[in-house]
């Protein structure tokens, strides 16, 4: 079983890297956007391999279903896109900034103290991932294998949903408000220019 997971990892890696290169190198903007969607799907595949199905599904839902579609809409409404992506003079910054970003991410990945989750906590993490939309009820926790009331209380606190609408409710609502403001702002800008 392990062999298959390794194989899947390598296939996904090759697909992700080739598609990512394609995004940068392909001249046709539309194809670049499609390849970007392929990269997103491959990343979702990695999440599945890490048994984070919830993240994988949300990745596809948001990045492929929403963001890629937004890009493609943008491309379609752009004039003269058929002639392709014109070259410009930003090659050097375009190399520098991603390189810096890459170095930063590698340092972060190496410096992080990765610890495997203890056996007892894996159930909890899985439960938090899968039940995140619904509030972790007593019944759901009991069927999830949390026998003592103390374990249930702990699991409840690790629930993503409980965290979002409990401890982090203010930042969460602030982000929602920001998005709404951006939406209305975009609409206002587009309207005033049109008529």
Partner 1 sequence: MSCQLAADNVLYANGLYRLVYDLVGTILPCWLSYVIAGLVMIFVLVNAVLLGAAVITWAERRLLGRFQNRVGPNRWGPFGLFQPLADLLKLLTKEDLTPDGADKPVFALVPILMVAPLVMMTAVIPFAENTSLAALNVGVLYILAVSSITSIAIFMAGWSSNNRYAMFGAARSVAVLISYEVPVVLSLLGVVMVAASMSLGSIVEAQVLPFFLVQPLAFFVFMAGMSAELNRSPFDVAEAESEIIAGYHTEYSGVKFALIQAAEFGGVGVVSAIAATLFLGGWSGPWSEYLGWLWFLIKTGAIVFLFIWFRATYPRLRIDQIMAVSWKFLLPLSLVNLAAVTLEVFLLRGPEGVLTTGDLGIMAVINVVVTVVAIWVFGNLIRDRVKFQARQPSDVVVPGVTTIEVH
Residue choice 83, 138, 153, 173 for contact with partner 1 (CB under 8 A)? 138
Binding mask 105-134 for partner 1 (x = CB under 8 A): -------------------------xx-xx
Euclidean distance between CA atoms 98 and 20, whole angstroms: 13
Residue choice 91, 119, 139, 190 for contact with partner 1 (CB under 8 A)? 139
Contacts of 34 (CB under 8 A, 6+ apart): 68, 72
Residue nearer to partner 1 on the CB measure, 16 or 68: 68
Pick the piece of the chain touching partner 1 (CB under 8 A) from 49-57, 91-99, 107-115, 183-191: 49-57
Smallest gap from Cβ 152 to partner 1, in A, equals: 11
Residue choice 69, 102, 105, 183 for contact with partner 1 (CB under 8 A)? 69
Euclidean distance between CA atoms 2 and 46, whole angstroms: 15
Euclidean distance between CA atoms 132 and 111, whole angstroms: 29
Residue 79 contacts partner 1 per CB under 8 A:
no
Alpha helices of 60-168 — where are they, by DSSP H? 69-76, 91-111, 119-130, 138-143, 149-158, 160-165
Euclidean distance between CA atoms 95 and 42, whole angstroms: 24
As a whole number of Å, the end-to-end CA separation of the chain is: 61
Please give the residue ranges that form the binding site for partner 1 (CB under 8 A): 1, 3-4, 28, 30-31, 34, 37, 53-54, 57-58, 60-61, 64-66, 68-69, 72-73, 76, 130-131, 133-135, 137-140, 194
């Amino acid at each position: 079983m392990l062999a298959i997971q390794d194989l899947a990892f390598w296939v996904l890696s090759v697909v992700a890297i080739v598609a990512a290169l394609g995004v940068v190198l392909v001249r046709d903007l539309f194809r670049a956007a499609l390849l970007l969607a392929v990269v997103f799907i491959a990343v979702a595949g990695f999440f599945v391999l890490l048994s984070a199905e919830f993240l994988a599904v949300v990745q596809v839902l948001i990045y492929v279903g929403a963001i890629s579609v937004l890009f493609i809409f943008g491309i379609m409404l752009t004039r003269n896109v058929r002639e392709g992506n014109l070259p410009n003079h930003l090659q050097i910054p375009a190399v520098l900034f991603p390189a810096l970003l890459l170095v930063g991410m590698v340092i972060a990945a190496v410096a992080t103290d990765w610890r495997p989750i203890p056996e007892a906590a894996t159930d909890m993490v899985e439960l938090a991932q899968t039940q995140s939309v619904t509030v972790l009820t007593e019944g759901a926790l009991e069927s999830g294998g949390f026998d003592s009331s103390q374990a249930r209380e702990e699991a409840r606190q690790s629930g993503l949903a409980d965290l979002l609408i409990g401890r982090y409710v203010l930042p969460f609502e602030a982000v929602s408000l920001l998005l709404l403001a951006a939406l209305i702002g975009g609409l206002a800008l587009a309207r005033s220019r049109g008529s």
